[in-house]
Structure 1
């Protein structure tokens, strides 16, 4: 399939197409703007129409290309269009490296930036060293299983001897789509068959009790107290609270509008469509945001930010503030994401409606709520947030002047 792609080294566009059963890539000096892409896409349409008519001559379009001389003799011999068409069908499968980058360029338009970065990293770090020089149609199921076994020997995080099964599964999953697409384009049977995911341990839900929440808020650094208070009582994901902007805070209606997130330092759209939601402010959250407004509203963008007005670096905050705090308080080490689980379980303990909680959490329905938090579900009757407010007003110990 012909395409217009970007050469990363020069940030310029190039044409990627097939002619005489061979893959051709012709570099341009054009920058990857919308207008330049449309210009080259029109050229590709012309080239493909000329190929079908048997009138395409390489040198007419790319006179300076080395390919022009290579194809010259063959073009002279193609007097019969049917003979030319037959030649075109003699597709030669590329190597994995030749195939993967055009495939990546075609797919990334529909991906979030964080996913693009993740896939590109897997291509460079894992796919190419093991599969890069192999022809895509020569790679077998056994090769993929050997690749998976090799991943288990790659050093993992925090001094682990190998990657976790969960991480291996995430690296293997894109290969299924890659080989399905390659098999369809070059007419071979995909080798990604009967390859099941490795079993991996599920991350436990370990919410904090309200007593522990009070203990944490009483002892955390003053400049992060409201940050964690809002995390505990809104259920926002890390990227959602770190990417929260003042323009999405409506004090009149007492709602927090979740419209954007921040992942790997990049502003992005929310995780899913259902993640776009309005979170109702409880009185403690309302008061915390009012206090925060005094400190960061002058920067004009992020609710929580550094001294330069930029979004917080969650890895830095976790390592310098969160984990040392839990250690100092002799509390079990838990990821900051457990603050989200805490909000859900507190809402459930307060007797809020599952539908209301799911909406506040950004779930499309209550299925995940019951599956993840089933042991925390009491008899539920209300659906307006009032029970949570009552619980906090009676038991939340942190008070501010």
Structure 2
């Protein structure tokens, strides 16, 4: 059986491969009527009705037998080329590789590109069982792959564009369990006391500089300005590869060299200063650290166990730095700059409870407003102390 219709001025004839029974004839009549209605309202897509027809390609609907796996393998090659050309960091490419190999290939590797429907993708996203941030990272890799397929005219439209992702993630993803969990003063002292040699220098410097682990690993002796007491943070080591930039643009910064951080560097001089290269080395190998995993497995786990301190990962040294400064009353904007944040949003989101005015569930005024005019509390205290020193007993009662 065949049906005839005119589409875009072209007379079309398509076979239905059905026996000419009365029931099939009625089906063909209804199908032709549906096609004519869609042609009239502009929603007809040739490939939806006749995916094997050569006319689908004639009308701009590419018929492809490629699988999603074919596209993902091509995407992986493109990532590797981008790393070689310096257009993508090795860490970013490695993250994409893990998503492709661990998430996308097992699910869609054998799926025909033509079968990748919004319904299929919606069901997959709903079953990921990860946080919203992780889900977005996974979906973004697939979106990029499918965008390339659209540009290559293998797809007319990216099926992910037909999914309300924000609403879907709000219903199906789980909350992040990661917590900022800094060490208190006694824990910090116990860790530094339990560590020895280069490990002690590394941990003490980490606690009092707030650098990311990747920045600590990449730090070099020429980055230290001993005269002005500054540390220039301008590179990072990720996946054993040095990047000439930090995590963010604001991450390239000058960090004030606090006394205990300076003392750690002075002690570290005996080990690596003459080489004029990387500051912190693995004491077991005598070579610079390459990954945060090396630090964790080589000495961090052992030192915390020896110190009797509850385990947290080494990145919590950065959180400890921030909470220590904020709880002592340092300016949040200044702390944000020291940590490489572009503004104070992250500071208030993650460390707000350590800012003094947020303690005990209430707000503590920085000024005395009893006379209708703000007088800084610290200034009032200083003046009161001065009066007491000059006139003993004047403040009695």
User: Would the aligned equivalents of 1:305 and 1:312 in 2 still touch at CA under 8 Å?
Assistant: no
**Does the 8 A contact of 1:166 with 1:200 survive in 2?**
no
Q: Does 1:91 align with 2:43?
A: no
Q: Which residue of 2 aligns with 1:215?
A: 190
Once the 2 structures are TM-superposed, how far is the Cα of residue 308 of structure 1 from its aligned partner? 4.3
- Residues 78-110 of structure 1, C-alpha deviation per residue, up to 9 Å, x if partnerless? xxxxxxxx8695634432233234444556734
Which residue of structure 2 aligns with residue 284 of structure 1? 260
- The alpha carbon displacement at 1:284 in A equals 1.5
Relative to structure 1, the CA distance from residue 276 to residue 228 in structure 2 (aligned partners, 3 Å threshold; closer, same or farther) is same
Structure-2 separation of matches of 1:363 and 1:372: 12
Match of 1:357 in 2: 335
1:51-74 deviation per Cα after TM superposition (whole angstroms, max 9, x unaligned): xxxxxxxxxxxxxxxxxxxxxxxx
- What's the offset of the Cα at 1:226? 1.1
1:348 deviates by 0.6
Matching residue of 1:127: 104
1:353 Cα offset (Å): 1.1
CA RMSD between the two structures: 2.8
1:149 shift after superposition: 6.8
- Separation in 1 of the partners of 2:328 and 2:204? 17
Counterparts of 1:164 and 1:341, CA distance in 2? 22
Q: Does 1:206 align with 2:181?
A: yes
Give SS of 1:324's match.
Answer: helix
1:384-395 matches, cutoff 5 A: none
Query: TM-score, with normalisation over the residues of structure 2?
Result: 0.65
Whole-angstrom CA distance in 2 between matches of 1:179 and 1:344: 41
Q: Identify the residue that residue 211 of structure 2 maps to in structure 1.
A: 236
The residue that corresponds to 1:189 in the other structure is: 157
Structure 1 residue 378 corresponds to structure 2 residue 345: no
Distance 2:72 2:290 in 1: 34
1:337-352 equivalent positions in 2, closer than 5 A: 337-352=315-330
SS in 2 for 1:199: coil
5+ residue gaps in structure 1? 1-85, 153-162, 382-401
- Between structure 1 and structure 2, the one with the greater Rg is 2
**Is the alpha carbon distance of 1:150 and 1:345 closer, same or farther for their aligned partners in structure 2, counting shifts above 3 Å?**
closer
Matched, 1:255 2:230: yes
> Does the alignment pair 1:118 with 2:85?
no
CA apart distance, 1:202: 3.8
**Residue-by-residue CA offset, 1:222-272 (whole Å, 9 max, x unaligned):** 331110011101111110101111221221221111111011211113111
Q: Taking structure 1 as reference, are residues 129 and 181 closer, same or farther at Cα in structure 2, changes over 3 Å only?
A: same
